Amino acid sequence: MKTIIEPFKIKSVEPIYFNTKEERAEILENASHNPFLIRSADVLIDLLTDSGTSAMSSEQWAGIMKGDESYAGSPSFFHFEKTVKEITGMPIVMPTHQGRAAEKILFNILGGKGKYFVSNTLFDTTRANIEFSGAEGVDLLCEEGKRTTIPSPFKGNMDTVALKQFILEKGASNIPLCLITVTNNSGGGQPVSMQNIREVKKICVENNIPLFIDACRFAENCYFIKMREKEFANTTVENIAKELFSYADGCTMSAKKDAFANIGGFLAMHNEALAQQCRNLLIITEGFPTYGGLAGRDLEAIAIGLKEVMDEHYLQYRIRSIEYLTNKLIAAGVPVIQPAGGHAVYIDAKEFLDHIPVEQYPGQALVCALYLEGGIRSVEIGSLMFGKYDSNGKLIPAQMELVRLAIPRRVYTQSHIDYVAEVIIEVFENRKKINGLLITEEAKMLRHFTAKLAPINN
């Protein structure tokens, strides 16, 4: 088989600014060992997130020029609405400025004290919105999903036995919604099978619990279904997506992921009564229902991006690039989540830095080391992001200590990825020299964005 090439030509480029290791040491110090606080111009390869960082196509840029900025009833809205309806089959579509705005509206209405939202794994903003409403978020991930280094085709699946048990325990009436995240971002970007969605749907129907999809990476998930679920080997990604959404009562979406847009999101659903309540909140928080916090040009870019993302040459290149980096790391003995996920490579920092206890945030220590060594920016998905304190102020660690290297869509080429692999392997070979960190300042919610840390010098 020949090399899978980037399925695009490059028309416009941005420079990368180079700096030295000494300069990066100072930058890291000034950013209090939290790369969220580093200026992007000081980053060589930015793998902080795949969110809003895509390269838009010439078609999308043309759409930006065509965007109609009417306050109400813009043709750009109708283009957007028609596209989302076509893919999801959901008749009610509300644009929002990001995915979390859709979440905020949904959980504000359905949430509250004594309520439980069940999921395969909730993303951090999703969990925060649920908890902010007073409700609890419950992750019921399948057992394979929790074993980071044992390959399995659908590690994003929900544990259906645990779901049934949880419903029995808490009562269906206290569970306003089941939310399946495709692919499972916080759980390694691992896909969910159609079979699993069908089973979850059946349980939801039996218990009268609506099923929603967190659809941020629906196309990547559908491509995995095509590759790994025999039944779908000859089905187009578009038709797989249609079937996937057909089991859902609604969805939330961040267009900053699988729509190649730099901003945007939406909330879509079937239930008109719920939609009416959502619309009321949408108007006071986002804007009139035909723009919902977005410019007409953004709605155009999203509508075009949603179609482009289902192109199978693109998806083949996309999924292959992640696998390519993952395989290089595996070959060098670096502990990573296997198999490769859809949008990111996840390093198991607990194993990578097994000399650093979880109370000293090994994930964050690794994030800092990668920046220092090669100017690569990544993000910790572990106890800095998800850790809690018990009543004695002792850390309750997260299930896993991961470092995520999220690959922006259509942005970096194979040589960028080769460089990333070289840096990680070099850090791995010198891992025993890396020290743990302690938190010196933190916020109550989503603390990883702004926390300040300091190295612990042994």
Ligand X SMILES: *Cc1c(COP(=O)(O)O)cnc(C)c1O
> Which positions touch ligand X (CB under 6 A)?
51, 98-100, 123, 125-126, 181, 185, 214, 216, 254, 256-257, 265
Q: Smallest gap, in angstroms, from Cβ of residue 355 to ligand X? A: 31
Q: Smallest gap, in angstroms, from Cβ of residue 433 to ligand X? A: 33
Instruction: Give the residue with the Cβ less far from ligand X, 19 or 125.
Output: 125
- Radius of gyration from C-alpha coordinates of the chain: 21
Instruction: Give the residue with the Cβ less far from ligand X, 81 or 214.
Output: 214
Q: Smallest gap, in angstroms, from Cβ of residue 380 to ligand X? A: 16
Instruction: Give the residue with the Cβ less far from ligand X, 34 or 181.
Output: 181
Block residue for tokens 């109400």: 72
Q: Smallest gap, in angstroms, from Cβ of residue 123 to ligand X? A: 3
Tokens of 328: 């290089």
Instruction: Give the residue with the Cβ less far from ligand X, 8 or 449.
Output: 449
What phi and psi values does residue 283 have, to the nearest 5 degrees? Answer: -65, -40
Q: Smallest gap, in angstroms, from Cβ of residue 73 to ligand X? A: 25
Q: Smallest gap, in angstroms, from Cβ of residue 186 to ligand X? A: 7
- Angstrom distance (rounded) from CA 323 to CA 338: 9
Q: Smallest gap, in angstroms, from Cβ of residue 419 to ligand X? A: 25
Instruction: Give the residue with the Cβ less far from ligand X, 100 or 115.
Output: 100
Instruction: Give the residue with the Cβ less far from ligand X, 167 or 379.
Output: 379
Give how far Cα 449 sits from Cα of 70, 385, 436, 442, 454, Å. Answer: 35, 8, 19, 9, 15
Q: Smallest gap, in angstroms, from Cβ of residue 101 to ligand X? A: 7
Instruction: Give the residue with the Cβ less far from ligand X, 339 or 341.
Output: 341
Residue nearest to ligand X (CB): 99
- Angstrom distance (rounded) from CA 385 to CA 375: 22
Instruction: Give the residue with the Cβ less far from ligand X, 254 or 326.
Output: 254
Q: Smallest gap, in angstroms, from Cβ of residue 392 to ligand X? A: 32
Instruction: Give the residue with the Cβ less far from ligand X, 100 or 318.
Output: 100
Instruction: Give the residue with the Cβ less far from ligand X, 98 or 360.
Output: 98
Q: Smallest gap, in angstroms, from Cβ of residue 206 to ligand X? A: 26
Question: Secondary structure of the chain in the HEC alphabet?
Answer: CCCCCCCCCCCCCCCCCCCCHHHHHHHHHHCCCCHHHCCHHHCCEECCCCCCCCCCCHHHHHHHHHCCCCCCCCHHHHHHHHHHHHHHCCCEEEEECCHHHHHHHHHHHHCCCCCEEEECCCCHHHHHHHHHCCCEEEECECHHHHCCCCCCCCCCCECHHHHHHHHHHHCHHHCCEEEEECCEHHHCCECCCHHHHHHHHHHHHHCCCCEEEECCCHHHHHHHHHHHCHHHCCCCHHHHHHHHHHCCCEEEEECCCCCCCCCCEEEEECCHHHHHHHHHHHHHHCCCCCCCCCCHHHHHHHHHHHHHCCCHHHHHHHHHHHHHHHHHHHHCCCCECCCCCCCEEEEEHHHHCCCCCHHHCHHHHHHHHHHHHHCEECEEECHHHHCEECCCCCEECCCCCEEEEECCCCCCCHHHHHHHHHHHHHHHHCHHHCCCEEEEECCCCCHHHCCEEEECCC
Instruction: Give the residue with the Cβ less far from ligand X, 192 or 237.
Output: 192
Instruction: Give the residue with the Cβ less far from ligand X, 346 or 352.
Output: 346
* Spatial contact of 325 and 417, defined as CB atoms under 8 Å apart: yes
Q: Smallest gap, in angstroms, from Cβ of residue 375 to ligand X? A: 24
Q: Smallest gap, in angstroms, from Cβ of residue 347 to ligand X? A: 18
- Cβ contacts of residue 345 below 8 Å, gap of 6+? 322, 325, 326, 329, 336, 337, 404, 405, 407
